[in-house]
Structure 1
């Protein structure tokens, strides 16, 4: 059977694995630059403690760190105990499945933690943010897990802003411009969000049996964009606290974020922030970047500094409730329509100043 070929975060992924998650087909003739292989193993390999890069604070029901990382001569291993090991090396991800009954977890892990890790190891920033398209540019929305990101992104896609990425936004910087790569055409929505933005459930599968969110083809909500686009703005979502006066457009505020705070907010919104901070000396995959010798953490820090220099980061404060979304949309469109000069407050900051300020913020958060 010929392999499947998809475009995923700018990579042409070739695999024999048949995804249930909606994927973007690769154009004919494009050479693959990433392979994914799934194999089933009877017993997971044993790793020496000295090879451990990190162990997540979150535990599984057996008391083990639910995500672990190991550095071996043949590559980096991301382990999900009792589920699977993912071996990462340049151009290849190999999944060793421990329990065949948990094969549904392969896509959950691969398209979440594993792909975010591969992006970071490849020299990109993987932000926990959704991205939509406005005027041939990407607009990002970052928030904590309960910060309203899914509702904001879904509502904008429903209103005609094509989806670029739902949960992980992959950013890279070239010649002073920051670009966002497209993800895959799936949206993770709660039943309430599906009812609001799709209208019927249509037997959408659960993303994970333990989670309430459903896997929804993004085309059921609105249009999907499958290109890499320059980033116009990154919005940090902040919904009004309970008891705060609610209102319409007058209650929507968009405020610029100072360079140092913008930097640390991007650090906080890295998809794997705790895991990445746990191994500062890990090298980038392939040594393809001039910053590879600095180690992953240092390289990522400098990339985020370049992003804050080149892209306005703003705080978007708005009332909680579906009825206020039209006013929020109008405020976003009005803000994006402003001349670029008004949004360039962070662009001329010296990188050393940004990094020093961010280091102080990072220390304060620990």
Structure 2
């Protein structure tokens, strides 16, 4: 893929909000009125037209997140707003809404010795015999308490992503470059009212699993249902049929992250044993 600075035609179909998305045959325009307009073309090129005076660091985050997520969708990859680590020769994904701890969980696994495959943008290839996860960016965006809980002394030297944003930026060391079979998707959730028995992994119905995976995709987030083609819905169905989907419920406390790690390790092992049986 190529990323370049250039002039992009401002979409006439602007919405009232801060972000406008226009879906065309071979091009998707995303316009942020405060920062930039970007054109994602044919799954190969991203052209960035910054707003004068906009912070380059914010634009880089938009391109690496939203821009890349949409570009991979153009390449017919199911692209989730998720992180993933390698456990027992397979990819384990952590998906969820903002603030659910995707980056925190992946960072904690990394500190336990598990390779990070990607953060924020998770691309799944369903053209192979089983769904495969392609390694991506490993640049974490962490709240200060999450950075302190997962990175220990390394957190002291981290800088904020950009002025006015309390999150800290951390780039994980080099990781795998080849794809991994997708072993499990954990949909992250919290339960601070009933802490007994946490963490736990709830098993959603096939319909709910399908809906939750779809809701956590970049495609639905940007293109809505009318902009998504049949291949996408077929691919999500294939993923849900062949890969376990679990709702991982835990306490909203970064200090308890190691408890979550031990639970996931055990859950993944048991899932693999069941498959062998």
Fold shared by both chains (TM-score > 0.5): yes
Structure 1 counterpart SS, 2:212: helix
Residue 119 to residue 167, structure 1, CA distance change in 2 (3 Å): same
* Distance in structure 1 (CA, Å) of the matches to 2:180 and 2:203: 22
Structure 2: 5+ residue runs without aligned partners? Answer: none
1:73 positional shift? 7.1
Which position in structure 1 is the counterpart of 2:182? Answer: 231
Contact 1:312 1:343 in 2 (8 A): no
Higher RCO, Cα 8 Å, sep 6+: 2
1:100 positional shift? 4.2
Question: Is 1:38–2:8 an aligned residue pair?
Answer: no
Which position in structure 1 is the counterpart of 2:168? Answer: 214
Which position in structure 2 is the counterpart of 1:320? Answer: 252
Q: Of 79, 84, 90, which residue of structure 2 is paired with 1:131?
A: 84
1:191 positional shift? 1.7
* Distance in structure 2 (CA, Å) of the matches to 1:164 and 1:99: 35
1:136 positional shift? 1.6
Question: Is 1:156–2:109 an aligned residue pair?
Answer: yes
Contact 1:132 1:161 in 2 (8 A): yes
Residue 319 to residue 175, structure 1, CA distance change in 2 (3 Å): same
Structure 2 counterpart SS, 1:110: helix
Q: TM (normalized to structure 2)? A: 0.87
Q: Which moved more, 1:178-187 or 1:320-329?
A: 320-329
Question: Is 1:260–2:170 an aligned residue pair?
Answer: no
**Residues 213-265 of structure 1, C-alpha deviations (whole Å, 9 max, x = no match):** 1111113xxx73332111011112222223x244xxx5332232221111001
Contact 1:172 1:178 in 2 (8 A): yes
Contact 1:238 1:317 in 2 (8 A): yes
* Distance in structure 2 (CA, Å) of the matches to 1:71 and 1:270: 16
* Distance in structure 2 (CA, Å) of the matches to 1:72 and 1:297: 13
**Residues 180-204 of structure 1, C-alpha deviations (whole Å, 9 max, x = no match):** 1111121111222222222144543
Structure 1 counterpart SS, 2:131: strand
Structure 1 counterpart SS, 2:126: strand
* Distance in structure 2 (CA, Å) of the matches to 1:328 and 1:151: 11
Q: Of 144, 154, 161, which residue of structure 2 is paired with 1:191?
A: 144
Structure 1: 5+ residue runs without aligned partners? Answer: 1-33, 56-63, 283-295, 345-366
Which position in structure 2 is the counterpart of 1:241? Answer: 192
1:47 positional shift? 4.0
* Distance in structure 1 (CA, Å) of the matches to 2:37 and 2:62: 10
* Distance in structure 2 (CA, Å) of the matches to 1:102 and 1:147: 26
Q: Of 84, 106, 114, which residue of structure 1 is paired with 2:59?
A: 106
Question: Is 1:70–2:22 an aligned residue pair?
Answer: yes
Contact 1:147 1:237 in 2 (8 A): yes
Residue 271 to residue 70, structure 1, CA distance change in 2 (3 Å): closer
1:308 positional shift? 0.4
Q: Which moved more, 1:67-76 or 1:138-147?
A: 67-76
- 1:49-128 alignment to 2 at 5 Å? 49=13, 55=15, 64-71=16-23, 75-90=27-42, 91-128=44-81
1:142 positional shift? 1.4
Q: Which moved more, 1:121-130 or 1:65-74?
A: 65-74
* Distance in structure 2 (CA, Å) of the matches to 1:76 and 1:336: 38
Please say which structure displays the higher CA radius of gyration.
1
